[in-house]
Structure 1
Amino acid sequence: MNKSNFKRKPEWLKQRLSGSATFASTKRLISGHGLNTVCRSALCPNLHECWSSGTATFLLLGNTCTRSCRFCAVATSRTPPQPDKKEPGKIAEAVKGMQLSHVVLTSVNRDDLPDGGASAWKSTVLAIREHNPEVSIECLIPDFEGRAHDQSTVMELRPEVLNHNIETVPSLYAKVRPQADYKQSLALLQRASSSFSLAVKSGLMVGMGETEDEVYAVIDDLYNSGCKHLTIGQYLQPSAAHFPVADYINPDQFKLYRAYAIEKGFRTVQSGPFVRSSYHAEECLSNT
């Protein structure tokens, strides 16, 4: 497949990059600890901005996922390498070295592990708190195949923010993320809100072929599930082998989505072409 499969990007999706000493130091620190970040593994368009401000989203349990969502740039395999047992301590050291006040953790799906990696999540959160007691934590978790016990392993740690992305509208699940379940993800968010009283966050991508009404319906579903923090961003095709972009959504439409969510009752809404799950993540803390 060749580059002709990509839709030409409009002007609002073109970024200008500049040099930064902070970017370089963040890159050295992450590389020095041998850590993975979703910024790099998922080809996040905001990598330069975030690393230049000294922040990053840590990717737990390696950089190989057991699922094959068609939108995601992370490598996939049914038999990824075993998790690094030293990873929790390395992340805690990196958080300290970066002098973070708020840290975002996420992970690949590890359906090959009996607990889906929940124990590694627990070890990482506890290690961060031991070495950085003042740091607030956002956990962007996978669905753990719907197992309430493994979800609870993370929720019981009471992170300041519990995030789980809905990703797209129900009609696109079979095409975009066939190994996931829309209602199962809503149930996870509901448990985090009602059973654990956590600040709950979710996000979705647009431009994959959904309709406006479908986006509004997802916003309704998320709110009714107890989610009060929302991110909406433009889907960008990582390679010609991934799910194609159907539309580049105009920034004005993102404003309409934000206005609808705010009127619905969401406390924070990040909505724009370059918005991603952890974009300006710390803003949730003052509105929980």
Structure 2
Amino acid sequence: MMAEQERPPRLRKPSWLRRKLPTGPVYEQVRSLIKSGALHTVCQEAKCPNQWECFSSRTATFLIMGSRCTRRCRFCAVEHGPLEPPDPQEPAKVADAAKALGLRYVVVTSVTRDDLPDGGASVFAATIRAIRGRIPDGQVEVLIPDFQGDAEALRTVVEARPDVLNHNLETVPRLYPAVRPEAEYQRSLKLLSRAKALDCSLPTKSGLMLGLGESSEEIRDSLQDLLAAGCRLLTLGQYLQPSTHHLPVERFVPPDEFARWRDIALEMGFSQVASGPFVRSSYHARDLYLHA
């Protein structure tokens, strides 16, 4: 590991990335509900900068199958370590929490579980069914891992009929060895293509982090790859370094540049685009879906 004195200095956050953190009784109520249910959220585990805003608005992205991941992506704050078997009661617990929060649009993601035979696809399917049982008129978006390219695992999730299937590219192909060393760019694209082949009516969604050293041409190429894979919902956000042990930020992208990328992506053929410094995969996910 790079010695402390050899680490490059962290870039100072610009003014547009500084914000007041909304807290209060609603925020505490949501946090308490998640804790009492022994649940996890990607908001907390991945140190999402929108956690306080979303909790205060009674929204959260549920993180299933534990809080530890089998992979060591160099951009992600989710911990790596000893894994426990999935809790068989977790789908029901997530559904109960979503009901208690009064959610009508529920986003579910997971850690990557390469240790499980189906990568956890059956747990996603069970969670979708449990939420539908508790909130019959609700919508469910899933943000899934790549299941190591397992086509049957993907089929299991698609046949549970989520309203949106999300899988992030995260970055451009040149940066995969540094950013996502255990993932494959083409495997992620193939997953999105297969999802559309399994159900052409299923909206698919993906996202990129900017600020890792990608070029404008590389961003355009990746957007074109997503369109070719049938993806029409897109998120673009600023990469933020979770700790000194993660990849440094190469550049802070100004808000007006994010706005230009939104216009470019819409012109290229995406139906809905969320693009901004604080945008994350599930940020205002319901709005993106409803206006698709």
State whether structure 2 residue 174 is matched by structure 1 residue 181.
no
Do structure 1's residue 221 and structure 2's residue 225 form an aligned pair? Answer: yes
Distance between the aligned counterparts of 2:68 and 2:190, measured in 1?
26
- 1:107 aligns to 2:110 (yes or no): yes
Please, what TM-score do these two structures have when normalized by structure 2?
Answer: 0.96
1:58 is matched with 62
Deviation by residue 1:40-80 (Cα, 9 ceiling, x = unmatched): 00000000110010000000100000000000000013x41
- CA distance in structure 1 between the aligned counterparts of 2:61 and 2:277, rounded to whole angstroms: 19
Partner of 1:243: 247
Which amino acid is the alignment partner of residue 114 of structure 1? P
Instruction: Give the TM-score normalised by the residue count of structure 1.
Output: 0.97
1:111-260 alignment to 2 at 5 Å?
111-197=114-200, 198-260=202-264
Output one character per residue of 1:121-172: Cα deviation in whole Å (capped at 9) or x when no partner.
1111111111111110001000000000001100111211000000000000
- Displacement over 4 Å in runs of 4+: none
| Aligned: 1:274 with 2:251 | no
Letter of the aligned partner of 1:143 in structure 2? D
The amino acid across from 1:136 in the alignment is Q
Amino acid of the residue matched to residue 70 of structure 2? T
CA deviations over 1:250-279 (Å, ceiling 9, x no partner): 111111111110111211100000000001
Distance 1:257 1:218 in 2: 12
CA RMSD of aligned residues (A): 1.3
Question: What secondary structure is seen at the aligned counterpart in 1 of 2:40?
Answer: coil
Match of 2:91 in 1: 88
Give 1:5 deviation, angstroms: 3.3
Q: Deviations over 1:214-242 (max 9, x none)?
A: 11111111111111100000000000000
Aligned residue in 1 for 2:52 = 48
Structure 1 gap ranges (5+): none
Question: Which letter does structure 1 place at the counterpart of 2:254?
Answer: N
Q: Which runs of 5+ in 2 are unaligned?
A: none
Q: Which amino acid aligns with 1:29?
A: L
- Contact 2:190/2:229, CA 8 A, preserved across alignment: yes
Maintained 8 Å contact 1:216/1:257? no
- Indicate conservation of the 8 Å contact 2:273/2:288, yes or no: no
Instruction: Report Cα offsets for 1:154-192 as digits up to 9, x if no partner.
Output: 011121100000000000001110111101111111111
Match of 1:69 in 2: 73
Return the offset for 1:14.
0.5
Letter in 1 for 2:213: G
Q: What's the % identity of the aligned pairs?
A: 51
